[in-house]
Amino acid sequence: MSFSDISRWLDDRRRQSLQRRRRVVESAQGPTLQVEGRQLLNFCSNDYLGLANDPRIREAFKQGVDEWGVGAGASHLISGHTRAHHALEEALADFVGRPRALLFSSGYAANMGTINSLVSVGDHVFEDRLNHASLLDGGWISRAEFSWFAHNDPADLQRGMAELAGTSGRRLVVSDGTFSMDGDTCDLDALIEVAAAHDGWLMIDDAHGFGVSGHQGRGLVDPLRYGTDDVPVLVGTLGKAFGTAGAFVAGDEALIEMLIQRARNYVFSTALPSAVATATLKSLELVAEEQWRRDHLQALVTRFRAGVAAHDCDLLPSDSPIQPIVVGDPNRALSLSAHLEGLGMLVTAIRPPTVPEGTSRLRITLTAAHTEAHVDRLVEALGQGCG
Ligand SMILES: *Cc1c(COP(=O)(O)O)cnc(C)c1O
């Protein structure tokens, strides 16, 4: 058995400009990164609030290591579930206004584990076309009947669910809160209405909204407006705005207890290091208290959009820190990315299969650690690169 067919596949990818390459980063996260010997302005991380290298969270992490050591040693159900994990779960549940929350070691694991615990053969899962890969993979692997609905089109969802009238089986509706590659947000009110009208559960993955939007950063599914009945399954991740690692699912007692019994990614996986939980508790405190981070970030988004409007760039409509410029062809995306890098700015080209064919793009992300001058430099560089 040789790998020659695999080599051919790799050659094909290279020819189509779809080959992925990892960049070796030589500094901690921040508005600038040392990358392969060069200092670059970083416009592609998800560290939206600039907390990934915050000194107070670093300190909490170190204290966590002093108290708990490094490895958790086992899964949560065996002997890996510590007081630190438990305290974080309670704080997260409180923050998002849900009875309980359950920690997972990543957002990918949380989504796979949750969808697969909720639906199976004989059930139905409905997903937005542009959902994150972890939500799609969860739906496909579940063996439930899988249906797409057109991106951000609750009327299309409504048609699909109506076709099931009178049939048995559970119905699960799944959507990103803020879409990871487009930066737009789901129509939450409409999704709630359609899911409820057809006796379905609504699951929202707020990976990019949690910490960034809502009162004190509580996310798109703001507990002041939306209760557990509206969005029974809520997912948030901790590796983005929270600057640490891991994810959680929040909901009522029965949901969380069922996940503890059934979610295979939970049951059969080593718990996150407790020190990550200790650090995240600190992070949660800062996310809630430091409103200036969200205000500054929003001002940068406005400044960026106003600046780019003067240029011939195909900027998607987005109020979030995710600001995509669609160029279509993967080669074009690579050359625009290379142009920016030549000017000292790191913006990775995003190509299929991460985004649909013909929609290769630069996915620019802004963070609270950027300054107005950083944004102005980016806008100027785009002026020379677009069109
Ligand atoms: C990043 C992301 C995830 C995965 O979270 P990780 O903790 O990085 O595994 C899940 N859902 C969405 C929408 C994301 O953007």
Is there a domain that residue 378 lies in?
yes
| Domain-embedded: residue 1 | no
Does residue 10 lie within any of the structural domains?
no
Based on the fold, state whether residues 235 and 302 are members of the same structural domain: no
> Around 251, how many Cα atoms within 13 Å sit in the side-chain half-sphere?
22
For residue 127, what is the domain's CATH number? Answer: 3.40.640.10
Total domains present in the chain: 2
Residues 98 and 158 in one domain: yes
Ligand 1: centre distance to CA 174 (Å): 14
Instruction: Say yes or no: 236 and 331 in one domain.
Output: no
pTM, 2 dp: 0.96
Residue 377 Cα to ligand 1 midpoint, Å, equals 29
Residues 278 and 300 both lie in one domain: no
Amino acid at 283: S
CA atoms within 13 A on the CB side of 69: 5
Domain boundary among 256, 288, 320: 288
Task: State in Å, rounded, how far the first CA of the chain is from the last one.
Answer: 48
Q: Does the residue 7 lie in any domain?
A: no
- Burial profile 12-45: b = 16 or more Cβ within 10 angstroms, e = fewer: eeeeebeeeeeeeeeeebbbbbebeeeebbbbbb
Which is catalytic among the residues 76, 85, 240, 374? 240
325 and 211 belong to one structural domain: no
240 catalytic residue (yes or no): yes
Give residue 166 CA to ligand 1 midpoint distance, Å: 35
Q: How close is the Cα of 211 to the center of ligand 1, in Å?
A: 14
Do residues 26 and 94 share a domain? no
| 176 pocket-lining for ligand 1 (C-beta < 6 Å) | yes
Does residue 3 form part of some domain?
Answer: no
For a pocket test of ligand 1, which of 132, 204, 280 has the largest count of ligand atoms closer than 8 A to its C-beta? Answer: 132
Residue 346's domain comprises 15-49+291-386
Give distance in angstroms: CA of 341 to centre of ligand 1.
26
Out of 288, 318, 341, pick the residue that ends a domain: 288
DSSP-assigned states of every residue in 223-267: TTT--TTTSSEEEEESSSTTSS--EEEEE-HHHHHHHHHH-HHHH
Residue 117 to residues 113, 191, 238, 259, 371, Cα–Cα distance (Å): 6, 21, 22, 7, 44
Per-residue pLDDT of the chain (387 residues; tens, 9 = 90+): 678 899 999 999 999 888 888 999 999 999 999 999 999 999 999 999 999 999 999 999 999 999 999 999 999 999 999 999 999 999 999 999 999 999 999 999 999 999 999 999 999 999 999 999 999 999 999 999 999 999 999 999 999 999 998 899 999 999 999 999 999 999 999 999 999 999 999 999 999 999 999 999 999 999 999 999 999 999 999 999 999 999 999 999 999 999 999 999 999 999 999 999 999 999 999 999 999 999 999 999 999 999 999 998 999 999 999 999 999 999 999 999 999 999 999 999 999 989 999 999 999 999 999 999 999 999 999 998 886
CATH at 307: 3.90.1150.10
Per-residue pLDDT at 217: 97
Instruction: Give the residue whose CA is nearest to atom 6 of ligand 1.
Output: 107
Domain boundary among 241, 256, 288: 288
Catalytic residue among 106, 180, 274, 283: 180
Is the domain of 138 the same as that of 197? yes
Indicate whether residue 106 lines ligand 1 (CB < 6 A): yes
The DSSP annotation for 9-74 comes to HHHHHHHTT-------B-S-SSSEEEETTEEEEE-S-S-TTS-TT-HHHHHHHHHHHHHH-S---S
343 & 256 share domain: no
Whether the CB of 208 sits within 6 Å of ligand 1: yes
For 339, list phi and psi in degrees, rounded to 5. -60, -45
Q: Is 180 in the pocket of ligand 1 (CB under 6 A)?
A: yes
Q: Is the CB of 114 under 6 A from ligand 1?
A: no
- Residue 2 resides in a domain: no
Pocket test for ligand 1, best of 106, 134, 205, 240 (most atoms within 8 A of CB): 134
Q: Mark whether 37 and 100 lie in a shared domain.
A: no
Whole-number pLDDT of residue 384: 86
Token reading at 338: 């290379």
Is residue 241 domain-shared with residue 322, that is, in the same domain?
no
In the reported structure, the alpha carbon of residue 110 is separated from the centroid of ligand 1 by a whole-number distance in angstroms of 9
Q: Check if 237 has its Cβ closer than 6 Å to any atom of ligand 1.
A: yes
Q: Is the CB of 177 under 6 A from ligand 1?
A: no
pLDDT computed for residue 1 by the predictor? 66
Contact 124, 271 (CB under 8 A): no
Catalytic residue chosen out of the listed positions 76, 132, 208, 370: 208
Residue 148: other Cβ atoms inside 10 A: 16
Q: Are residues 153 and 263 in the same domain?
A: yes
Q: Residue 318: CB within 6 Å of ligand 1? A: no
In a domain, 376, yes or no: yes
Name residue 318's amino acid. Answer: S
**Residue 4 within any structural domain of the chain:** no
> What six digits make up the tokens of 83?
């007081």
In terms of domains, do 110 and 173 share one? yes
- What per-residue confidence (pLDDT) applies to 387? 61
